Amino acid sequence: MGVFGMTSGPWNELDEEIKPQVDFIDDFRMRWDWNERAREIIAAYGDQVDYMVMLSHLGHGTDVALATFVDGIDLVLGGHTHDSPKTTRVNGTTVLLPDFNAKGYTDVTVTFDLATKTAITPETIAELDITESLPINKTTKRRIDSIMGTYAPDANTEIAVSLKQPSRDGILDILHDSLTDFTAPKSGINYQIDASFLDRGEIEDSEIWAPGSLTQEDFHHAYPIERQPANTPGFSSLYQVSVSGEALSAMLNYESGLDYHGPALDDIESAKTYQIGLFKSAAWNPELFFNGSYYRKEDAQFVGEAWEIFDAYARKRTANCLYIDVDELLFSCDENAPNITSVWNFDDASNIFAPEQNIASSLTLTNATDELQYCDSELLNCGTAEFFSLPRLPDGSNASVIELSALRALDNGSFQLATQLETNGDFADQDRLSYYTIVFDALWPELDSDSSKYRAIIDADASSSAPDIYLSPEAR
């Protein structure tokens, strides 16, 4: 079997693929005529192998085009295209595109006949989701945790809270506010911009974080680092440039397509110098974005990666007891906030679903004919961990336990959590509660390490037969 590789050309700060005329990596010769180079490789080595594989990062469309016009390739293992997995067969070649960002993988089994020196690529190719098909390797996980602990210890640490889900404009508002007073963590340089021109296209709606706790990973997901060109700051990095008030007015008057934050046109002082925040693309291309050389690319000063800037701003907001997206006190900091937390300990068998602290929320269990269920009824048994032959809690206490019969999508009963609290957030107009927190012990008792059981946790949609949230055997 023979394997050769092909990769796409580099990309520039405008998110455009380019084909440099000179080699830019030491000891590597570069060519961009992929079809011709593939023909040369096959001509040189094709008669030495019985099965030829091309490992590609060209993108699925280019892979299919190459396979169409180049004979002698049996299998293409592709990449680069961020799209749903697919299999294309053309000119005797099977071209595979797997899932991206490690969300899934494509499993293909090629059968070789050593006697006839032939190979069969199956007609059906398995496309699998990693989270559903591959158990976590504990040794690998420990190694990854060790690396993350060394180089990114705060990656999954809660550092801020978002009250709502921002729009793209809301994200840019936060980013502009972040740039008005940012100190780079490594250099210690403080940047204070007066205005910014920011591109809404730098983020997709699907990448905007949801309401609730935020971590560095949320910021990195919103603005991932893609170093275009190679060995330069990320595509979504921010720069600062200095311009005169006259230049700022001209930039604002030109229809650049960028979102402007800063002083109104009539308030700009012509003789004053302004510090402007820009994404890398605009910082490196003033003529393209503003139709004039109001600053030089060489003078654009790198401020930081977008996620780093969000991170610093988020910590500052939390330290001041504020949400990252609105000027409101965090609930935990508001001394006048009412106690609206309901607690269920399930330790009173005579009224097993009675809440403590606050009665604004309620739990009810009913059978198929809507009859309320209590201890020792059709669907419910009550007792202690010892009574049910369960291990004690980690602290040694004999936990109160309720045992529910299996509820099958309302066929034989329903276990419902309801609340009389005011509706809030993005779905308030639909008379729904958007912001709430549910805490319960889903990790006890522990499952055996080789268990394949999944634990259903929450089903928020009565019309669905599957839970919306569940816990895997690996507690994920």
Q: How far apart are CA 341 and CA 360, in angstroms?
A: 8
**CA-wise closest residue to 211 among 433, 408, 370:** 433
Q: For the chain, which ranges sit under pLDDT 50?
A: none
Count the neighbouring beta carbons within 10 Å of the beta carbon of residue 343. Answer: 10
Percent of the chain at pLDDT exceeding 90? 46
Q: Coil, strand or helix: which one is 360?
A: coil
Give the per-residue pLDDT at 464: 62
Q: Please, are residues 459 and 406 in contact by the beta-carbon 8 Å criterion? A: no
- Report how far residue 93's alpha carbon sits from residue 90's, in angstroms, rounded to the nearest whole number: 5
Q: Which two tokens stand for residue 136?
A: 């976590």
Please give the pLDDT value at position 230. 80
> Alpha helix locations (H) across 161-300?
168-179, 216-222, 245-253, 280-284, 286-290
Inter-helix orientation angle 168-179/306-319, to 10°: 80
pLDDT of residue 79: 93
Look at residue 403 in the predicted model and tell me its pLDDT. 83
Specify the pLDDT at position 407.
62
Q: Residues, the chain, total?
A: 476
pLDDT at residue 450 in the model: 57
pLDDT tens digit sequence for 275-331: 999 999 999 999 999 999 999 999 999 999 999 999 999 999 999 999 999 999 997
Q: What pLDDT, in 10s, does the model give residues 141-190? A: 889 889 988 988 888 889 999 998 999 999 999 999 999 999 998 889 99
pLDDT reported for residue 313: 97
pTM over the 0.85 mark = no
Q: Which two tokens stand for residue 250?
A: 């001209």
Task: Reduce the DSSP state of residue 164 to 3 states and report it.
Answer: coil
